[in-house]
Amino acid sequence: MTHPNARSTDADFIGLLQQIGPTRAAKVLGVTPRNAKRRRRNLENKYKKKIEVPAYNNISPPQYIEHPHEVNLTVKDGTVIVGSDGHYWPGKASTAHRAFVKLIKELSPRAVFMNGDAFDGARISRHPSIMWENKPEVIQELEAVQERMHEIELAAPRSTALVWPLGNHDARFETRLATMVPEYARINGFHLKDHFSNRWQPCWLAWINRSVVIKHRYKGGIHATHNATMWAGTTTITGHLHSLKVTPFTDYNGTRYGIDTGTLADPNGKQFLDYSEGNPKNHRSGFIVLTFRGGRLMWPEVVSVVDENHVEFRGEIIRA
């Protein structure tokens, strides 16, 4: 089979598509699924002929309609990286996302979490459009998410667990279909997970050592991190509010943390421009690094965006 770094001819590429489909062809050629699909469309336009591909190879094997309730991991010694709220749209990757990928390569974490809202779903929101917003189509968003998640997957060692707790924006994909065409339930491709590698484990929440819970959202408001860990009774890591902060909480049982993982998107990006009406947002772009020693969580570390090309981490300015 073609070497991952080889440049394929049109004939070789078409043959590979017809044999194993664009998603698997992308893996063989070492390119993103988005680029493979783009090349397929370009070749169809070039030769004025549709390239037939095996439907069952285009996407992952069928998944159960229900998302697994929880994922449990044990991490005695090592790091875990948690990002969330990518709200990925077509275009250049954000500074936080680039830093996320870079640190995954450098730290070789035991697990990587995309803690919800990788997909934005701008056109299928329950909220009405604001004036004449120029929103990307669902396929454009989906391809952008595939590209970004593929970059994360390539950066992570094969031994690294990839976990994706479902976010409320992620849920838009299936909620819209379940509402409009419920007769298509369980058909492959109608569930968000069908469009991504099986390395990504979907869930509602995940536990590390049964002492740290990671889920997309729990409590709301300005004191969300404090209230989340107080009421949960354990270290609680959420996204959703984009605030990027660590709130310690100490009682007779010791110290635990309420953590907001911020956003991997640019807080001033197009995804948020119109609904915020240009108002200042108490949002911060970045993510969280967790270190475990002997199964014990050390003080959580924040990676925060400094400017378009740099992030701050462990007292250093790092180029993203």
Model confidence band, residue 265 (pLDDT cutoffs 50, 70, 90): very high
Structure tokens at 168: 């409320």
Between these two residues, 178 and 126, which has the higher pLDDT value?
A: 178
Between these two residues, 140 and 125, which has the higher pLDDT value?
A: 140
Model confidence band, residue 4 (pLDDT cutoffs 50, 70, 90): very low
Structure tokens at 260: 């907001």
Cα gap 238→48, rounded to integer Å: 49
- pLDDT reading at 214 higher than 70: yes
Helix 138-155 and helix 95-107, axial crossing angle in degrees, nearest 10: 30
CATH number given to 70-319: 3.60.21.10
Each domain of the chain, given as residue ranges in start order, spans 10-58, 70-319
Model confidence band, residue 12 (pLDDT cutoffs 50, 70, 90): confident
DSSP 174-211: HHHHHHH-GGGTT-TTSSGGGGS-TTEEEESEEEETTT
Nearest to 80 by CA among 46, 114, 54, 50: 114
Q: Coil, strand or helix: which one is 315?
A: coil
Instruction: Identify the sign of the CA torsion 93, 282, 202, 100.
Output: positive
Alpha carbon distances (Å) from 120 to 134, 137, 144: 14, 11, 10
- pLDDT reading at 207 higher than 90: yes
Cα gap 11→86, rounded to integer Å: 36
